[in-house]
Amino acid sequence: MKADSKVLERINRLREEINYHNYRYYVLDDPEVPDAEYDRLLIELRQLEAEHPETIVPSSPTQRVGGMANAAFSQVRHRQPMLSLGNAFSDEEVISFDKRIRERLQTDSVEYVAEAKLDGLAISLQYEKGELVVAATRGDGETGEDVTHNVRTIDAIPLLLRGSGFPNRLEVRGEIFMSKQGFARLNKRQAENGEKLFANPRNAAAGSLRQLDPKITAQRPLSFYCYSVGVAEYGELSQGPYRISSHYQIMQLLRDWGLPVQREIALLPDIRSCLDFYRQILSKRDELPHEIDGVVYKVNNLLQQQQLGYISREPRWAIAHKFPAQEALTRVMAIDVQVGRTGALTPVARLEPVQVGGVTVTNATLHNESEVLRKDVRVGDSVIVRRAGDVIPEVVSVVLSKRPKDTTAFVMPSKCPVCQSTVTKEETISRCSGSLICHAQRKEGFKHFASRQAMDIEGLGEKLIEQLIERGKVRTVADLYRLDRDDLIGLERMAEKSADNILAALEKSKQTTLPRFLYALGIREVGVATALALAKHFGSLPAIMSADFDALIEVPDVGPIVANHVLDFFAEKRHQVIIQQLIDAGLTWPDMVLDSDDGESPLSGNTYVLTGTLKSMTREQAKQQLQALGAKVSGSVSAKTTAVIAGDKAGSKLSKAEQLGVKVLNEAELVALLTSHSA
């Protein structure tokens, strides 16, 4: 059915709204509506156009992915060549550039426009009567490839210009690029699909734009900023209705017409201001959402640009001030394996020193074994190394043509290079299993052991642990219980009273529970819930330590991976020694009430909620004891709650319990409950 006037009016209104929101999002960087509302408008427009196909026009926002896959790209000859820029690599070269310009123009001062140099793909966009008709790559500067179908998929590029007064024929030039975040997402998707990864955002943008099928391009996170005008139908813009006399005015005008212009652009009075701008942009380079590789300086006055003209294939009135290289070629001297504070093993390439981004680089991360094997990095290889700001340098790729004949593939060690414990594999991460004995993991291991849900040693924080380790007072957690006042006094902020408080906290922590002790040991992937499940299932520590794989996987919350972690931990004889030392130091706990054959514990099926402050124990201790008896402890009250246990200053949970008619127990009743079922 042919669309009536109301439908046509609605379709046109939707197109205007969607184009407006694209302008707010891509040009002004100030969206007015959430994504869901934008999607709703687009869905409605698609539906109306599907019902009335005669209303579809090429410039409709729904037509961004259109046309058949191209067998090849046709050639487009640029009406005005797309020239390259000369490069400057130092302040002195930039000052010389300015001197040449002032001498040629016979003036003492020149106004410049400075803008960040995007690391993307140059593009020419031709608009006729405000509608995008042709998009072409730079190519050799004279002739490029027609990529119109693919460019139409990029939301940042308007299919229709905004406002009025633009030339009947207008060529806009700019850069297509991919954001850092978009690049990371794309490579993650490529890896998940088993496809080749892109080396950097620029390569990813170029590869995405040259897809034969526009639907593939549409799936890639491409964006766009314009940086100049090539041709306007009425000649130079200075002859048009706007009487434009400067490059900066052109950029403002393009922005008004709906074309995105980057925010890193400034009108500056002289070349010294340009150098200040360069240093400012360089300092925040890594904070920008997209890659840049320098700053471009352009003479602002259009008449002065004409007077300066061109030399060879470069304009005399513009220059690119390049940033220090972030990639360099060097050689791998060795591949070492570092052990992190959580036991993760990371291969690190030791490099022949090379300057990257203004810094001498001698090491580069190889991330993990899978990454080393994927890139096939070997000792003796020539490699490309990349550094971005303060990020640890990484090996990007190997130059295979330079590989020596006698290289061998990297193999991750089976024993920890620090403590010789067995190395376990968790997906792509190799990890040392010696959490209690590995010096590389000591600090994190001590922090975990002393934490609230583990041994709950009050006052033993990170700073004190660091001092104890650095001064050689402790090597394993068992050494904590050998400390005396003399060991502690003299440490930073540690007087006699503070030392006595720490010793008292250590003494108090000796009275614990089996689940807490298991959790404190730091067995890989054995959290609070798993430690409780193991304790309830086996009842005692010797039973857990002697359990085999088949027995372990019968425990709720324990699968094959966790079972192997438990087996590896207790198989390590040095772990057994430390556990015995802890027991000899006086750590003790009652054996657990074993789960009965039918799976029922004394409080199985009951749910309790704790609120307020308890005097005889902490709420965490009460929770642990209730869970040990099979109860669930919830953080919210419902009609299914068995009882709310209310201490002093109980809050809204007590009020809700009273509203719902849920039973309320005081602290004395809690103690009686625990005592009666633990006997």
Active site residues: 117
Q: Which residues does residue 87 pair with via DSSP β-bridges, in sequence order?
A: 320
> Does residue 264 contact residue 198 with C-beta atoms inside 8 Å?
no
CA 260 from chain centre, in angstroms, equals: 26
- Find where tokens 């008004």 sit: 256
- Long-range contacts: 562-566, Cβ < 8 Å, 24+? 562/525, 562/526, 562/530, 564/424, 565/424, 565/433, 565/523, 565/524, 565/525, 565/526, 566/523, 566/526, 566/534
Distance of alpha carbon 534 from alpha carbon 526, whole angstroms? 9
> Does residue 297 contact residue 100 with C-beta atoms inside 8 Å?
no
Among residues 192, 183, 80, the alpha carbon closest in space to that of 136 is found at 80
Query: In angstroms, how far apart are the furthest CA atoms of the chain?
Result: 101
Residue type at position 526:
V
- Find where tokens 């669930």 sit: 632
Structure tokens of 639? 């009609």
How many angstroms separate the Cα of 115 from the Cα of each of 30, 267, 396, 503, 629?
21, 9, 28, 63, 68
Structure tokens of 568? 């590896």
Q: Which residues does residue 298 pair with via DSSP β-bridges, in sequence order?
A: 113, 318
Q: What length is written for the chain?
A: 679
Among residues 194, 111, 122, the alpha carbon closest in space to that of 151 is found at 122
CA 121 from chain centre, in angstroms, equals: 25
Do strands 143-145 and 75-77 pair parallel, antiparallel, or not at all (unpaired)? antiparallel
How many angstroms separate the Cα of 435 from the Cα of each of 274, 430, 446, 541?
54, 13, 10, 18
Distance of alpha carbon 159 from alpha carbon 25, whole angstroms? 15
In 298-441, which ranges are continuous DSSP H helix?
A: 302-308, 369-375
Structure tokens of 123? 């593009």
Among residues 120, 290, 117, 116, the alpha carbon closest in space to that of 204 is found at 120
Distance of alpha carbon 123 from alpha carbon 578, whole angstroms? 66
> Does residue 173 contact residue 123 with C-beta atoms inside 8 Å?
yes
Strand blocks (E) in 567-674: 607-611, 632-634, 643-646, 663-665
In 52-162, which ranges are continuous DSSP H helix?
A: 91-105, 148-151
- Find where tokens 């556990």 sit: 579
